[in-house]
Amino acid sequence: MMINTVLEEIYRTEKVLDPEGTPKDAFPVSLSRSDGEALYDVVTHTNGSRTLEVGLAYGISALHILQALQDNGGGAHTAVDPYQQKWWNGIGVLNVKRAGLQDIFRCFVEPSYMVLPRLLGDKERYDFIFIDGNHRFEFSLLDFFYTDRLLQTGGRIMLHDTWMPSIRKLFSFIDTNRRGCYRLDTRFCGGNRTGSDRWRAFAQALKASPLDIHAARLYAAHYFHNYIVLEKIQEHDPEKIDAEWNFYAAF
Ligand SMILES: C[S@@+](CC[C@H](N)C(=O)[O-])C[C@H]1O[C@@H](n2cnc3c(N)ncnc32)[C@H](O)[C@@H]1O
C-alpha cells in the first residue's frame, strides 16, 4: 500500500498537529493502521471515483480514502462532520491540505442527517461510503438509509466499529430487511467462525446487549475484525418492494 507522509507521521508519533502546531493525541478517535489499510484496500478494489464518509474527526480515514483515489487515478471525496471545528479544531481538513489532497476533497460541517438527504436530492451517487459518525443506533440507521440510496449498484459500504451493539444491530437490520440487496464481502472482513470461537463471540455480544439474539448470532458467525464491508448487488426501492404495506421483519 502507498501511504502518504502525513499519515506515516501520524502513525509514527500517534499525534496530530493543530493549526498552531500543537500536538494532540490522534487515538483512540482515529482509525488504527490496520483498519486504515483495510479501508485503503476496499477503496482501491472498488475502483470507483466518488467516495463519501460520515465522521471526519482528524481526517485519518479521509487520508486513506483520498490516497486510494489518487492511486486509482483520481476522483472526489466528500466528508461530513458537524464537529470539525468545535471538537477537532479543523485538523481533519488541515491534514488533507497538508497531504496536498485538497483539490479532490470537500467537507460539510453539518450533521449527516441533514447533509445526506441533500446529496440525494442533488442526485449525487457514490461508489464507496464509509460510515463512522455518530454510532448511536438511530443515527447509524439513518446513515445507512441514505447510503442505501446514494450508493451505486456494485459499490461498497464499510461500517466501522463492530464491537458496538448499535453497529451489530444495524448489520442485523440490513441482513433481515435488505436481503438480496447486499453481499457480505468476505475478501475484506471475516471468514466464518466455528466451534468454541463462535460460542465465545456469541456470549460476548449477548453480554453487551442481552436481547439482541439475531444480531449476536450474525456477529458470532463471522470474523468481522472491527468493520463490515458490504457490496451492493441490487437496488432496493422501498416504495416498490414485494412485501405487504405493513411489512415488518424483526431484526
Ligand atoms: C470515530 S470518529 C471518526 C474517526 C474518523 N473516521 C477517522 O478514523 O479518522 C466519529 C466522528 O463522527 C462525528 N459525528 C458525530 N455526530 C455526527 C453526525 N451527526 N454526523 C456526522 N458526523 C458525526 C464526530 O464529530 C467524530 O468526528
The CA 19 to ligand 1 mean position distance, Å, reads 20
Q: pLDDT tens digits, residue range 26-60?
A: 999 999 999 999 999 999 999 899 999 999 999 99
The CA 213 to ligand 1 mean position distance, Å, reads 28
Residue boundaries of the structural domains of the chain: 5-190+225-232
Closest ligand 1 atom, residue 143 Cα: 20
- Domain 5-190+225-232 matching CATH 3.40.50.150: the answer reads yes
The CA 196 to ligand 1 mean position distance, Å, reads 35
Residue with CA closest to ligand 1 atom 3: 55
C-alpha cell at 77: 471525496
Residue with CA closest to ligand 1 atom 18: 111
* Model pLDDT, residue 225: 87
The CA 111 to ligand 1 mean position distance, Å, reads 9
* Model pLDDT, residue 20: 97
Q: Is the peptide bond before 19 cis (omega within 30 degrees of 0)?
A: no
C-alpha cell at 51: 467516495
DSSP state of 192: B
Beta strands in the chain (DSSP E): 15-17, 23-25, 50-54, 76-80, 105-108, 126-131, 151-160, 182-184, 227-232
Q: Which residues line ligand 1 (CB under 6 A)?
A: 29-31, 54-61, 80-83, 87, 111-112, 132-134, 139
> Rounded to whole angstroms, how far apart are CA atoms 178 and 181?
5
For 24-36, b where at least 16 C-beta lie within 10 A, e where not — what string? Answer: eebeeebbebebb
215 close to 172: Cβ distance less than 8 angstroms? yes
> Rounded to whole angstroms, how far apart are CA atoms 188 and 39?
9
Residues of the chain by 3-state class (helix, strand, coil), percent to 5:
40, 20, 40
* Model pLDDT, residue 2: 52
CA atoms within 13 A on the CB side of 222: 22
Q: Tell me whether residue 121 is exposed, middle or buried, using C-beta atoms within 10 angstroms of its C-beta: 0 to 12, 13 to 18, 19 or more.
A: exposed
* Model pLDDT, residue 3: 65
C-alpha cell at 144: 445507512
Q: pLDDT tens digits, residue range 146-158?
A: 999 999 999 999 9
Our measurement of the distance from residue 89's CA atom to the centroid of its chain's CA atoms, rounded to an integer in Å, reads: 22
CA-CA distances (angstroms) from residue 7 to 14, 75, 107, 134, 150? 10, 19, 19, 23, 28
Q: Which residues of the chain have pLDDT under 70?
A: 1-3, 238, 240-243
Our measurement of the distance from residue 247's CA atom to the centroid of its chain's CA atoms, rounded to an integer in Å, reads: 28
CA dihedral 234, 235, 236, 242 (to 10 degrees): -70
Q: Which of 14, 24, 77, 83 to mutate to test the pocket of ligand 1 (most atoms within 8 A of CB)?
A: 83
* Model pLDDT, residue 136: 98
Q: Which of 80, 132, 137, 226 to mutate to test the pocket of ligand 1 (most atoms within 8 A of CB)?
A: 132
